[in-house]
Amino acid sequence: MSRRALTLALVAAFLIPTLLLAWIGLGSLRQEAERTSARYSGQAEALGQTVRLELERLLSELRAGRGPIEPLVLRYGSDGTWLGETLESKRADAPADPALAAELAGEIDRLQAKGDLKGAVERTREIAAKSDSASLSAWALEACAALLDQLNLRTDARAAREELIARFGAERDSRGLLRSLVARRSLLASEVEPTDALLALCGDAAADYSALSETASAEFLRQLRADLGERIGSSDEVQLAELERIDRLDAARARLRIWLASSREGPADWVARGAPGSAAIFVATAPLIPSANPSSMEAPIESTLAGDGVFLAAIERQGDEWRGGAMELDRAFVRALSVSAQDAAVRSLGFVATIESRAGSAAATVARLDLGPPLGDFAIAVRGGDLEAFAAGERKRFALLGGLIALAILTAVIGAWLTLRAVSREVEAARGREAFVAAVTHELKTPLAAIRLFAEMLERGDVESPKVIEFGTRTVREADRLARLVDSVLDLARIEHSGTVLAGQPVELRKVAVAAIAIVGNYGRESGFEIELAVGGEGLAIRGDVDALTRAVVNLLENAIKYSERGQPIEVTLAQREDGDVEIAVLDRGRGVPEADRQRIFEAFQRLGSEMTRDRPGVGLGLALVKKIAAAHGGRALCEGRAGGGSRFVLILPMAAKVQP
């Protein structure tokens, strides 16, 4: 085949699969765009379903007389008779003689018009004292107090009001408002700190307010509540809690007042007909009165708001009665919509769900769900959202999926590499353990051989007396050497198993250093070394295990003796670091450690050089044990070079406290 034909074949082999993949990719993108649009609409419909399900749940809870928003409990007889809680309507007590009351009021007005306020006061006092009508006497005392205020006779005015409260606490004015409530409010105007008394007055006024027709009571309570709202600071939790309690009770009675005013026309007839559908909505038939209570629904009806001024009622038959609950429809809508706002689609796509009249416009809605009875006049509309952002999110999701696949492949590759590396390390560790076994065997044989030799010589009895002491001393030394080797292996295993030291008592570092020097001192002197403890470091202490710390310092000293030339100084120093930790360091003038190996020498079984070429005995456990002990105390161990040669091995430990030396 010619070069030209070969080139064309290679181009075709590359181009044809590329075009095929591009065609498949374009088709997939087109299908994905359609699926994206469908998923977008599905998200909006799911949001609408969330709202509808919440409304259905609210209806179910209303039938049981409960719910997340405290409902009005309904109770009817089978014939529609109201059996639930009632509120007695307070009526103004008519004077015993209306003509006489009008005549006396006119007389007081004439005296005031002439400027004879004192004469008006005397006349009202006379009426209060001599009248047989409690209503007329209460009116006279109220008028008397007002006249005394005009004369600036505050003490006398206060006495008149106190007499009114004491004698005629249940008497009402022509509007139905208790005169005693007004008198109490007037008395509190002169108090320095009247808030607690005003709270008590507000509670009594709220409990007395029973019917929607009592407009005077409603206005009195509104003004009193507004005054309290201004007086009570946000920091007085006790007064705020009491005001909230009064508000809750007032709001519950407000719903009951409105329901009772409306139930005479609609709900009772509905129940008498068997409560078809077991749920219905009713419009409040009485005009609502503005209230300063934020929990109360007694405010003018906003006809533009869906559900405002409307009750949603749901009941079920229980024996000879109908029982259930009712709540304001707008509160039910707000509850359902607030639950839907927790949906992830609302946060990520910007959807907004509303409940509106079914006859409203469906323009710009992504999804629309009609509600069933009793909310058949309403529909759930889902608007807003950003299709482009949703599509971008979907593309990002697919890109993320592809990235995850690539990451999985990369992870597999890295995992394989790490596995190979772990196997390599395990092989290296196995070799280290083999070297350790060989070194331990050698280290064990040397003291055992010496002990056996001394024992055999002593057994034969041909050793002179001075030599007996020398052989005994050397036997003890070799036994100590053997014991330290065994202790090192056991300590390393113990710390690796538990991860922490066993003891946790305050330990003074200077005592640890002195104990370690005492243990190694004879061995050091025989090897030609003097170990010096530097001045300073008194009072430095940590919390830990004194035996483990002593073992660590002993290992550092033995390491310094082992790798230093005979006669070189070895020094132990104690100091507090700038970061607050403390350190105990062993300084030598030995051969030193290359910088690249300063971390590796603290690993178990790690020694510089090879077992065949090393000129110093050891098994590679001493520094590993030092590192483990430091870590078990929350510290660390490190090796540093020294100017002029040698090494500085340091134990850095967190300081516990300063103790007196």
**More confident site: 191 or 38:** 191
What residues pair up with 353 in beta bridges, in sequence order?
382
Residue 181 has pLDDT above 90, yes or no: yes
Residue 426 structure tokens: 């395990």
Instruction: Using pLDDT thresholds of 50, 70 and 90, give the confidence band for residue 324.
Output: very high
Q: What pLDDT score was predicted for residue 614?
A: 45
Kindly report the number of other CB atoms within 10 A of residue 598's CB atom. 16
Query: Residue 365's beta-bridge partner residues?
Result: 383
Per-residue pLDDT, 158: 92
Using pLDDT thresholds of 50, 70 and 90, give the confidence band for residue 404: low
Helix, strand, or coil here: 354?
A: strand
**Strand 570-576 to 531-533 pairing:** parallel
Provide mean pLDDT across the span 442-459.
64
Give CB contacts under 8 A, 24+ apart, made by 291-295: 291/218, 291/221, 291/222, 291/225, 291/250, 291/254, 292/222, 292/223, 292/225, 292/226, 292/229, 293/221, 293/222, 293/225, 293/247, 293/250, 293/251, 293/254, 294/247, 295/247, 295/248, 295/250, 295/251
pLDDT at 183 over 90: yes
Distances in whole angstroms, Cα of residue 148 to Cα of each of 125, 129, 166, 198: 11, 17, 19, 23
Q: How far apart are CA 247 and CA 242, in angstroms?
A: 9
**pLDDT tens-digit series, residues 531-583:** 888 878 788 888 888 888 888 898 888 888 888 888 788 899 998 888 888 99
Which DSSP letter does residue 472 get?
Answer: H
Residue 337 CA, chain-centre distance (Å), reads: 25
pTM over 0.85: no
Q: Which of 246, 178, 177, 179 is nearest to 213 (CA)?
A: 177
pLDDT in tens, 134-180: 888 899 999 999 999 999 999 999 999 999 999 998 888 888 889 99
Residue 464 banded pLDDT, cuts 50, 70, 90: low
Strands 505-508 and 378-384 come out as unpaired
Residue pair 297/288 in contact (Cβ under 8 Å)? The answer is yes
Degrees, nearest 5: CA angle 339-345-346: 55
For the ranges 7-16, 275-284, 624-633, the maximum mean pLDDT occurs at 275-284
Instruction: Kindly state the greatest CA–CA separation across the chain.
Output: 149
Which tokens go with 226? 């507004």
**What is the per-residue pLDDT for 102?**
81
Beta strands in 371-492 (DSSP E): 378-384
Of 272 and 288, which is predicted with more confidence? 272
Terminal Cα-to-Cα distance of the chain (whole angstroms): 97
Q: What is the mean pLDDT of residues 467-487?
A: 68
Question: What are the tens digits of pLDDT across the range 212-239?
Answer: 778 888 889 888 988 888 888 776 888 8
Distance of CA 429 to the CA centre of its chain: 47
- Report pLDDT digits (tens) over 573-620: 998 888 888 999 999 988 888 887 888 788 765 655 444 334 455 556
| Residue 361: closest CA among 379, 337, 346 | 379
User: What is the spatial distance between Cα 324 and Cα 314, in angstroms, rounded to a whole number?
Assistant: 6
Q: Can you list the domains of the chain with their CATH numbers?
A: 98-261 (1.25.40), 498-658 (3.30.565.10)
- The share of the chain scoring above pLDDT 90, in percent, equals 9
Reply yes or no on whether the pLDDT at 344 is more than 60.
yes
Length of the chain: 661
Query: Would the CA dihedral through 278, 281, 287, 288 be positive or negative?
Result: positive
Mean residue pLDDT across the chain? 77
Q: Identify the sign of the CA torsion 392, 393, 396, 398.
A: negative
- Tell me how crowded residue 303 is: count the other CB atoms within 10 A of its CB: 8
Say how many C-beta atoms besides its own lie within 10 A of residue 452's C-beta.
Answer: 13
Using pLDDT thresholds of 50, 70 and 90, give the confidence band for residue 413.
very low
Q: Tell me, what's the pLDDT at 362? A: 66
Give Rg (Cα) of the chain: 48
* CA distances from residue 299 to 70, 276, 302 in whole angstroms, order as listed: 19, 30, 9
Q: How many C-alpha atoms does 320 have within 13 Å on its Cβ side? A: 4
DSSP string, 578-606: TTS-EEEEEE--SS---GGGTTGGGSTT-
Question: pLDDT value at position 538?
Answer: 81
